Structure 1
């Protein structure tokens, strides 16, 4: 569509910026590359299929609008909603707001569907807990060594070993991490104490389906809202257990008894400045 449009106008294409991430987010690699090239005046026009591909976010849309105005760059959308060559720039915010509201309504519908599926016991996570596999929305214990890794972690903790000590042993023996087993693209090759703790506190291992621990705050915000325990969606005795309920509850009691109150961390250079790109939480050291 772009090539045909450009050919008809007798123009030339500098580059094509391709991405599949949602237009509600500003931290998109190709969008940032496009903005950087625009500021360096590598081209004099931006074309998009529709404004929603550039921004489904009111704030972001105004940032893009101001950027192109400052750098004397035009924007044309193939749906004819925006065409700054013809002076059509006033509807920028209106269309972006409409697209943002549409995205929010879609998000709300998906959340409602997720809640219904979770209440029916269908696993909707992207990655199952270590030791399980997903088939048709149901959790099944894997027929390999992974369930034994989970059992070993619980057993070692009950024997008095801490999170970091367990993680070190797993690393020393070259045991693959959960993200490596799941085949994640950016998988960590090292076990961490925090990852061991996540496994030790995962109620799914006793056969209960536990979901809805967090939710997105808004379609335009990356950070998540973490729910209270009484708000979790729990389906008891849903699937085959890897850890007995008695063993799991004993571990939870031990975790509470070993918990040490740490002093409040000091304010440092990156306080309220550096945030995790995945979960949105503030970084600390």
Structure 2
């Protein structure tokens, strides 16, 4: 029987906080307890916000916590060709289309629907489902967009994808057994953009397969995204890992910690004299 393989996969688009430390330590400890391997992956498909300096800071913080991982570390930004191959496979199955609506157009359309008796549906993260170009643009406007080389997103035709994959998608969730996947709740998710050859959903399933990840241990904020990942794994004929979604580290108001909210970073804790042992104590580890 092969050893289990765990991974911690942060994005260097800001400094790590206690929530990241919690997830990283849980994966490291699970690998040790189960005689497995612990891998680190750099999820830097956003080549603008993810900088070399932030990556260096991130590695330094993780080493300060006492974590050790196998090398070389996989960096998504140097594997765009592998995501392109997966995208091409989905395109060959006629499951991908170009979507031209801008954020402003979507926002205006959704606002009009929300003002009616039937609010526009949202995905599990609260974002409005993509309405489809036909709902907003005339045929002439769509043709003009295509001919002008306007920016676009490559989206998954969710209804067609579910029909092809089958409606009985599930995943195995630690301590909870078989969970029914509901990818339709996400609508036509983005797989890539004109200027970005992949998305989180596409790259994460490709990476997990190529790295031989057997156990995905991550925060509950990604629980519902597993439905999309199981759909893509099925369509791309990729292996299914075991999943476990751990509790999130919250602030005193009950909000989950976030880089965008400038929550206290590990670097700030280090500078204040906090020790790795005290970090673990704060996390209840």
For normalisation by structure 1, the TM-score amounts to 0.20
Q: Whose radius of gyration is greater, 1 or 2?
A: 1
TM-score, reference length from structure 2: 0.20
Which structure ranks higher in relative contact order (CA pairs < 8 Å, sequence separation ≥ 6)?
A: 2
